[in-house]
């Protein structure tokens, strides 16, 4: 092989390296499941009693983004720093836009940091693969008058839900004594909750294997 051939092969390896790098960095990509327009109008919380509040958005999985890795949330700026907060991912087995029968897949328990107006905090969750309809939610214990849930004021799709209980049963959301599809309330808005989905790990592995085979075949040709 001459020097030009060696240089070409080095360049080819660099290009392939760049492709592999870009697929790896896509794991921390911007949220690709987004319903809100980034501009919140309302903050909502229990006005008559202390309660555990769970609020979330219903999404449909798109091909190549079925493994959910991160959830991003914009909270009311009135939420104190250091409050316990749970970040939750459910899959809906019935894929019917109704998460009351959804199965909990992943959970991260953490604490709040100082929220800035209309800014999103991104929370890592244990990676979990969804199919069809899935539900992404936030849960907090709130005192009467504490408004935490931040909402964009349009919800044409009816995909935002709110659950109240003394202690919400995450294995049976539909058992909550109070729950609403926000489209049937005066606050028909979209929760400012987003999710990041990436290809399933098996498909990444297959893709990398494909590149490896490609490299081997090209080496044979040289």
Contacts to Ca ion by CB under 5 A: 91-92, 94-96, 98, 101, 131-133
Closest distance of CB 31 from Ca ion, Å: 19
Closest distance of CB 159 from Ca ion, Å: 12
Q: Which two tokens stand for residue 159?
A: 């995909």
Burial of 17 (0-12, 13-18, 19+ CB in 10 A): exposed
The nearer residue to Ca ion, 43 or 100, going by C-beta atoms, is 100
Contact (Cβ atoms closer than 8 angstroms) between residue 81 and residue 114: yes
Beta-ladder partners of 86 = 109, 139
What element of type H or E holds 216?
Answer: helix 201-221
The nearer residue to Ca ion, 131 or 218, going by C-beta atoms, is 131
The nearer residue to Ca ion, 130 or 148, going by C-beta atoms, is 130
Q: Which two tokens stand for residue 108?
A: 């991260």
What are the strands of the beta sheet with 42-44, ordered from one edge?
42-44, 149-152, 190-191
Q: Which two tokens stand for residue 119?
A: 């800014």
Count of all residues that appear for the chain in the document = 222
The nearer residue to Ca ion, 9 or 107, going by C-beta atoms, is 107
Closest distance of CB 58 from Ca ion, Å: 9
The nearer residue to Ca ion, 35 or 75, going by C-beta atoms, is 35
Closest distance of CB 204 from Ca ion, Å: 21
Q: DSSP class of residue 116?
A: P
Closest distance of CB 22 from Ca ion, Å: 29
Beta-ladder partners of 85 = 110
């Amino acid at each position: 092989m001459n020097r030009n051939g060696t240089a070409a092969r080095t360049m080819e390896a660099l290009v392939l390296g760049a492709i592999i790098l870009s697929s790896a960095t896509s794991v921390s990509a911007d949220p690709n499941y987004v319903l809100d327009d980034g501009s919140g109008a309302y903050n909502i919380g229990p006005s008559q009693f202390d309660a555990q509040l769970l609020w979330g958005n219903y999404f449909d999985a798109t091909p190549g983004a079925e493994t959910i890795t991160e959830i991003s949330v914009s909270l009311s700026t009135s939420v104190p720093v250091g409050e316990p907060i749970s970040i939750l991912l459910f899959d809906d087995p019935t894929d019917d836009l109704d998460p009351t029968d959804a199965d909990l897949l992943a959970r991260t328990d953490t604490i709040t940091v100082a929220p800035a107006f209309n800014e999103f905090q991104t929370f890592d969750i244990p990676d979990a693969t969804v199919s069809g309809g899935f539900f992404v939610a936030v849960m907090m214990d709130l005192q009467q008058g504490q408004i935490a849930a931040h909402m964009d004021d349009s919800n044409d799709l009816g995909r935002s839900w709110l659950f109240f209980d003394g202690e919400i049963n995450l294995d049976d959301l539909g058992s909550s004594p109070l729950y609403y599809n926000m489209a049937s309330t005066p606050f028909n808005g979209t929760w400012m909750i987003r999710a990041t989905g990436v290809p399933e790990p098996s498909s990444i592995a297959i893709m990398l294997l494909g590149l490896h085979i490609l490299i081997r075949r090209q080496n044979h040709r040289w």
